[in-house]
Amino acid sequence: MEQNKKWWKESVVYQIYPRSFMDSDGDGIGDLRGITQKLDYLKELGINVIWLSPVYQSPNDDNGYDISDYQAVMKEFGTMEDFDVMLASAHERGIRIMMDLVVNHTSDEHRWFVESRKSKDNPYRDYYIWQEAKDGREPNNWGSCFGGSAWKYDETTDMYYLHLFSKKQPDLNWENEKVREEVFSMMRWWLDKGVDGFRMDVISMISKVPGLPDGPKAEGALYGDFGPYVINGPHVHDYLKEMRDKALAPYDTITVGETSGVTVQEAVKYAADDESELNMVFQFEQNDLDGGEHSKWNLDKIRLPELKAVLNRWQTYLEGRAWNSLYWSNHDQPRIVSRLGNDSGEYRELSAKMLALCLHMMKGTPYIYQGEELGMTNVPFEGLEDFRDIESINAYHEYTENNLIDKDNMLEYLRYKSRDNARTPMHWDESPNAGFTEGTPWIKVNPNYTEINAKEQLGRDSSVFRFYQRLIRLRKENPVIVYGRFELLLPEDEDLFMYTRSYEGEKLLVICNFSGKERSVTVPEEFAAGDVWISNYERQSVRGELSLGAYEALAIHI
């Protein structure tokens, strides 16, 4: 089938979590000037789009995902002038900037909410979702993503407001046309400034089912699940089409929706190839595979056949209809080498490269989260006092105080799954604090920075960084990697992830051993005379029966 070619399909995106990327002024918090200083590093890696986690003014209840002014820069990160310099410097290097757009909610310190809560007839009242008490308590049984009820009582008007995240993140009322107009005009303001697109935070949750009914409550759960009445709600596609018309259409943008709860059937609406809504979405099915009775809090491992089934479903269902995003990590997920690879000793680098190859040879736009290109690992946090993340801290209290999980186990779960694993400072070099800051970092540095850091890896051809660089270059040079059709082989195999890509007579075979064991595999006849494009074992050729080493991965081209 003829492919609809687009620059954003041919791109590789790098996510920066500004708070932890590079601190230029010694206050222990990363900043915009720090990012500007490191643009050459990113250019060297080869990426061409940066997704910038929020840099807007914020009281930082949720590290910038609670915005109090959409048109101002967070003081700790610098000034609007610093932003403009960063943007221009990125553009000079051929790197585009995709902003985080957090518009399901604002901060409770946003001017709109400050007004809204003043009185029932305030002009901003309907910017948010207010409800009367029901039978003397919360309007419904929904729990918030960060623990507790999703409703907060507000004395001034004797009513409750909805917050799907923290109490300091009241949900905007998207049914109100004025809210939509405000958001679209703010987006145009940034686009006129020259930014290149948006990553849209929890965008699948902006439309709520009228009446806000109670959600299903699992046995033993403290609250009901808002999912069925919030996720992919009744008007979400209307709102996104309106956003396309009123904000995005005149500009050449890249857009990706963060869409928890999205299925492939929904994704072909959000990310349809006709660009009527977004360019692509982040699906959560791959991350939800190790969830359980207590949401994500456990030590369970994802089983490879299940992971393959999910990714295969996305690769094949979206073919010719919509575009995929490809990611292992972001600021909300633990480090991938600790989750799906092996983060200890000799296997760390091999498994980090194997995971990279597996993802970057699939169809879609790949996303790299800062430090992933070095094979950064989870962090040996000691006690609760080491954690900074509101989700982790609230979950610890909620589960332990209600006797659902004991304290030691909960700490183990936090060490394995906490979002803080991804949020410790970037490892630049072996100097104190990994070269991230000359002050005291806002969160502890992972002690393994003396061994794992950018400086060391830039100086070594066999490093994880150099491997990512090669993967990105291969993608840039070979349309089969961007546009080829995906086909999964050996779906049931417990150790091997194997697939082909086909495009205009070219074919690629990708073989990844997800296990620490040696494994043999038969290379399909047609690939016997193929070229090995990339291998984490420096393998030069393949023939017939292949004996794979632990975490070995390679791609063969014919």
Catalytic residues: 201, 258
Residue 365 vs 500, nearer CB to ligand GLC: 365
Which residue is nearest to ligand GLC, using beta carbons? Answer: 65
In whole angstroms, the minimum distance from the beta carbon of 70 to ligand GLC comes to 14
Residue 326 backbone phi and psi in degrees, to 5: -120, 120
With respect to ligand GLC, which residue has the nearer C-beta, 332 or 386? 332
In the complex with ligand GLC, which residue's Cβ is closer, 202 or 542?
202
The answer to whether 79 and 124 have CB atoms below 8 angstroms apart is: no
Structure tokens at 366: 């790949």
Distance CA 131, CA 137 (A): 11
Q: Which one, 332 or 349, has the nearer CB to ligand GLC?
A: 332
CB of 364 to ligand GLC, least distance (A): 19
Side chain identity, residue 387: F
- 391's tokens: 């989700």
Angstrom CA distances, 84 to 73, 79, 91, 132, stand at 11, 9, 11, 44
Q: In what order do the strands lie in the sheet with 96-101?
A: 280-282, 254-258, 197-200, 96-101, 49-52, 13-16, 365-369, 325-327
Query: Among residues 165 and 499, whose Cβ is nearest to ligand GLC?
Result: 165
Angle at which helices 177-193 and 236-243 cross, to 10°: 40
Instruction: Give the DSSP H or E segment for 458.
Output: helix 454-458
- Candidates 293, 295, 297, 266; CA nearest to 282 is 266
Cβ-based nearer residue to ligand GLC, 102 or 481: 102
The answer to whether 87 and 45 have CB atoms below 8 angstroms apart is no
CA angle 367, 165, 150 (to 5 degrees): 150
Summarize as ranges the residues that interact with ligand GLC (CB under 6 A).
Answer: 62, 65, 102, 165, 201-202, 258, 331-332
Closest contact distance (angstroms) between CB of 258 and ligand GLC is 6
Q: Which residues of 514-538 are buried (b: 16+ CB within 10 A; e: fewer)?
A: bbeeebebebeeebeebebbbbbbe
Handedness of CA 236, 238, 244, 246 (dihedral sign): negative
Which CB, 180 or 331, lies closer to ligand GLC?
331
Nearest distance from C-beta of residue 169 to ligand GLC, angstroms: 6
- One-letter amino acid of 159: M
The smaller minimum CB distance to ligand GLC, of residues 258 and 398, is found at 258
User: Can you give the three-state secondary structure of 244-299, one letter per residue?
Assistant: HHHHHCCCCCEEEEECCCCCHHHHHHHCECCCCCCCEEECCHHHHCCCECCECCCC
Judge contact between 107 and 58, C-beta under 8 A: yes
| Closest distance to ligand GLC from the beta carbon of 213 (Å) | 23
Minimum CB separation of residue 192 from ligand GLC in Å reads 25
Q: The tokens 């016997």 sit on which residue?
A: 528
**Nearest-approach distance from CB 506 to ligand GLC, in angstroms:** 37
Least distance (Å) between residue 52 CB and ligand GLC: 13
- Provide the greatest CA pair distance for the chain: 76
Note whether 375 and 368 are within 8 A (CB): no
